[in-house]
């Protein structure tokens, strides 16, 4: 994992860069085995804005840009606050993709990936149904369903909306999303 540092308005010393790398080690540990660490780069941009220092940390993780910007009047203070915020953002992203193995609950990442045995086989070749698969119905929010569609690159996604308790069908047409809510 590489940390690229840029400064505008002042000169970065080796001590400041060393302190930044030391603080970002916590973020690197938080990434764990979520991604290939050679593929992830962190960009740190320092700006001098009057009496304040501004630090913007940016990385691209799982198809999303994680950006944190902090402002303080002390260079070490801005590094501390930005790294803490960045660590929280990375952990939040990691938790989103983490699967939980509870009794009957599947994680969002496993919902579409795992196939179950079909309840019945298609024997008549004149049937219009070509393939039967059983999958778990995901219990997610609308935002998580949209993110899952983007990750899996599917045209539709059926899920149970946690907020309403209803079964929904999310579909994509011409780059825009549509939602069908099924009611009893």
- Give the Cα separation of 65 and 183 in Å (integer): 36
Q: What count of other Cβ atoms lies within 10 Å of the Cβ of residue 76?
A: 14
For residues 83 and 129, state if they share a domain.
no
In DSSP notation, 94-111 reads HHHH-----SS---HHHH
For residues 25 and 49, state if they share a domain.
yes
For residues 8 and 93, state if they share a domain.
yes
- Asked if 72 contacts 52 with a C-beta cutoff of 8 angstroms, the reply is yes
pLDDT at 130 over 80: no
The string of pLDDT tens digits covering residues 69-116 is: 999 999 999 999 999 988 888 888 777 665 544 444 555 445 545 545
* Boundary of a domain, candidates 97, 118, 152: 97
Classify residue 18: in a domain, yes or no: yes
Classify residue 102: in a domain, yes or no: no
Q: What total number of domains does the chain contain?
A: 2
* Boundary of a domain, candidates 71, 97, 123: 97
The structure's pTM equals 0.52
């Amino acid at each position: 994992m590489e940390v690229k540092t840029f400064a505008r308005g002042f000169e970065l010393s080796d001590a400041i860069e060393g302190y930044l790398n030391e603080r970002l080690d916590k973020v690197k540990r938080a990434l764990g085995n979520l991604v290939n660490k050679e593929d992830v780069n962190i960009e740190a941009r320092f700006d001098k804005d009057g009496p304040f220092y501004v630090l913007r940390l940016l990385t691209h993780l799982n198809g999303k840009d994680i950006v944190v910007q902090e402002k303080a009047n002390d260079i070490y203070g801005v590094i501390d606050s930005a790294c803490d915020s960045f660590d929280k953002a990375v952990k939040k992203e990691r938790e989103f993709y983490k699967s939980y193995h509870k009794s009957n609950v599947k994680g969002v990442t496993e919902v579409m990936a795992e196939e179950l045995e079909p309840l019945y086989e298609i024997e008549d070749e004149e049937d219009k149904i070509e393939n039967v698969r059983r999958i778990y119905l995901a219990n997610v929010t609308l935002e998580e369903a949209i993110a899952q569609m983007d990750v899996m690159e599917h045209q539709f996604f059926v899920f149970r909306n946690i907020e309403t308790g209803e079964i929904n069908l999310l579909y994509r047409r011409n780059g825009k999303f549509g939602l069908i809510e099924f009611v009893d």
